Structure 1
Amino acid sequence: MSTVAPAERPLVQSAERLDPTGIAEVLALAATADRTDGAGPLSEQVLLRIRHGADTPAAHLTIRDDTGRLAGYAYVDASAVTDGAAAELVVHPMHRRQGLGRALVLAVVDAAGPAGPLRVWAHGDHPSAAALALRLGFRRDRVLLSQRRSLVEPIPEPRLAAGVTLRAFRPGVDDEAWLAVNNRSFAQHPEQGRWTLPDLRARIAEPWFDPAGFLLATDGPAGRILGFHWTKVHDGGGDGRPAEPIGEVYVLGVDPGAHGTGLGKALTLAGLRHLRDRGLTDAMLYVDESNTSAVALYERLGFARWTVDVNYRRG
């Protein structure tokens, strides 16, 4: 363990790994901030890496109060060579407005290195985060919208092209074929288009995973995957999840060769009907604000803006 903060700043400690006690502390801190803010401070990807470890270079930055309790935390991923390092952070609600957020961001800059781009997520688009980003020379670079829709409202029957059928994902059988389609579908996406088999299998191992809600659209005798709608059910637990059970359009993708066939709309409707049939009354999703075609599709299908996450960039 090493110290990455100078004496004039609150003391920030850095570690390559967290022990089980540290993992529990960070997860509890994230859950506390989520209950206070109404938005989880750490993404699912970061939470998975905290719980299960990361196979890429990372730094865990922590600040503790006078009693030794965890007051702030930041995760720094330095694995993205092209886009630079990425980070997410959280400060305990009882320790805000004390300079801890600024100290963590400065420690993130130290950990990421002075050269090259650095991206930091602010979940919830708080004015204080925007002001801090401006003071430290970050610019608003990317906006992720959270949208919601009632499942009580009518959901039209999906219309599939001739020869296209829907079936459930088969773990251990469809993994590599699905991953290839996913990465082609999201080739320009900085996170989703870079998934590996360990990324997929880590989610398959999660308690929420249900292959029945992972719908594949296939075509031809070989069952070629044309697109997919992976749904998720948040059970109202901790770790940044919503307080009430809610369905999610977790990942929706269409192979570039099947664009323009209406498959995206059909898959969306099929997934929403699946979530409704599970007894859920609401659905959520995340979509990049810059993906105007996807935003327009979801709005036509009854989704409306709920919250906003912002990615700030330096360099």
Structure 2
Amino acid sequence: MSAPPESQILALVDAAAAADGVGPLSEHALLALRNGAPGRTVVEDGVVVGYAHLDPATEEESAAAELVVHPEHRRRGHGRALLRGLLQDAAPLRVWAHGDLPAAAALAASEGMERVRVLFQMRRPAAEPLPAPDIADGVTLRTFVPGQDEEEWLKVNAAAFAHHPEQGAWTLDDVRAREREGWFDPAGFFLAERDGRIAGFHWTKVHPDGLGEVYVVGVDPSAQGLGLGRALTLAGLHHLRDRGVPQILLYVDESNAAAVRLYRSLGFSPHTVDVMYGS
């Protein structure tokens, strides 16, 4: 059987987002879909009404998945069928529930899955006052140069997120895939350099709907204690404000208390919650 057209799955994703008020798939899953990665589907009368994305297990982490059912085809067992199929394909399994919706929580609980991770989406109005970045002595800021900085950035990213394989395991292909996206803008990708080497970074993003995002901020462990995380965050916030975005969002783990405190001090407050359930 031929694979369902990508357009059907994207239409399903849009319908779920409109009904639920939150996107059902992460950027990572959508990139995989647009780049031809296989997924599990439920089809009714030739139309895709359910979809699941699966990331196989690695040496560092168990398999992870995301799934969605069209709002007009819910309460028919499609979500349970997708989840049980995923559990057969990969166990133990972790599954993201974007928005922490009651139906997703009930399905996970009924299949014996428990909450194992909570991710906050936080937001701040872009127009609110911002302090100027305080750059440490010996540190300079510049923007990313495509075709030049990828390899060194990947090394710093891996070191900064050594205990966060979901981010730290990025490859050159992952970077290239994002560089091909319409939102990619090197003018909003800030690098802190110290002694001629990248010591930290803040990659920003402007979404098609106009929202700005603190896409990822990282500091090399050797440069911790210089205030680079706050300085880089502020540099990116100023950039996004100057772009005219109305609001700025970011994602941060509930367990990362230091980062949550930093972002609260910069005017961010919780907006939505994503939950990961584990089998």
Q: Could you state the TM-score of these two structures normalised by the residue count of structure 2?
A: 0.97
Contact 1:83–1:117 (CA<8 Å) still a contact in 2? no
Q: Determine the structure 2 residue equivalent to 1:42.
A: 25
Q: Determine the structure 2 residue equivalent to 1:7.
A: none
2:29 and 2:186 map into 1 onto residues whose CA distance is 23
Q: Determine the structure 2 residue equivalent to 1:77.
A: 55
Q: Determine the structure 2 residue equivalent to 1:15.
A: none
What secondary structure is seen at the aligned counterpart in 2 of 1:87? strand
1:77 and 1:182 map into 2 onto residues whose CA distance is 20
1:92 and 1:159 map into 2 onto residues whose CA distance is 48
- Pairing 1:1-315 to 2, within 5 Å after superposition: 19=3, 22-54=5-37, 59-65=38-44, 67-112=45-90, 116-220=91-195, 223-236=196-209, 245-314=210-279
2:57 and 2:170 map into 1 onto residues whose CA distance is 13
Deviation string 1:101-131 (CA, Å, 9 cap, x unpaired) is: 111101111222xxx4211111110111111
2:98 and 2:63 map into 1 onto residues whose CA distance is 17
Instruction: Give, in angstroms, the shift of residue 61 of structure 1.
Output: 1.1
Q: Where does the alignment leave 5 or more consecutive residues of structure 1 unmatched? A: 2-17, 237-244
CA RMSD of aligned residues (A): 1.3
Contact 2:63–2:94 (CA<8 Å) still a contact in 1? yes
Deviation string 1:58-78 (CA, Å, 9 cap, x unpaired) is: x5111122x322111111221
Aligned length: 279
Deviation string 1:83-104 (CA, Å, 9 cap, x unpaired) is: 2211110000111122111111
In the alignment, residue 181 of structure 1 is paired with which amino acid? V
Contact 1:64–1:72 (CA<8 Å) still a contact in 2? yes
In the alignment, residue 285 of structure 1 is paired with which amino acid? L
Contact 2:60–2:165 (CA<8 Å) still a contact in 1? no
What secondary structure is seen at the aligned counterpart in 2 of 1:191? helix
Instruction: Give, in angstroms, the shift of residue 79 of structure 1.
Output: 4.2
More deviation, 44-53/73-82 = 73-82
1:60 and 1:52 map into 2 onto residues whose CA distance is 12
2:174 and 2:100 map into 1 onto residues whose CA distance is 27
Contact 1:228–1:254 (CA<8 Å) still a contact in 2? yes
What secondary structure is seen at the aligned counterpart in 1 of 2:5? helix
1:230 and 1:22 map into 2 onto residues whose CA distance is 32
1:36 and 1:230 map into 2 onto residues whose CA distance is 30
1:82 and 1:283 map into 2 onto residues whose CA distance is 32
Deviation string 1:113-150 (CA, Å, 9 cap, x unpaired) is: xxx42111111101111111111111100001100001
Contact 1:76–1:111 (CA<8 Å) still a contact in 2? no
Instruction: Give, in angstroms, the shift of residue 248 of structure 1.
Output: 0.1
The percent of aligned pairs where both chains have the same amino acid is 58
Q: Could you state the TM-score of these two structures normalised by the residue count of structure 1?
A: 0.86
1:305 and 1:262 map into 2 onto residues whose CA distance is 23
What secondary structure is seen at the aligned counterpart in 2 of 1:32? helix
Instruction: Give, in angstroms, the shift of residue 53 of structure 1.
Output: 2.9
Q: Where does the alignment leave 5 or more consecutive residues of structure 2 unmatched? A: none
Instruction: Give, in angstroms, the shift of residue 158 of structure 1.
Output: 0.3
What secondary structure is seen at the aligned counterpart in 2 of 1:45? helix
1:279 and 1:129 map into 2 onto residues whose CA distance is 35
2:57 and 2:94 map into 1 onto residues whose CA distance is 12
In the alignment, residue 261 of structure 1 is paired with which amino acid? L
What secondary structure is seen at the aligned counterpart in 2 of 1:160? coil
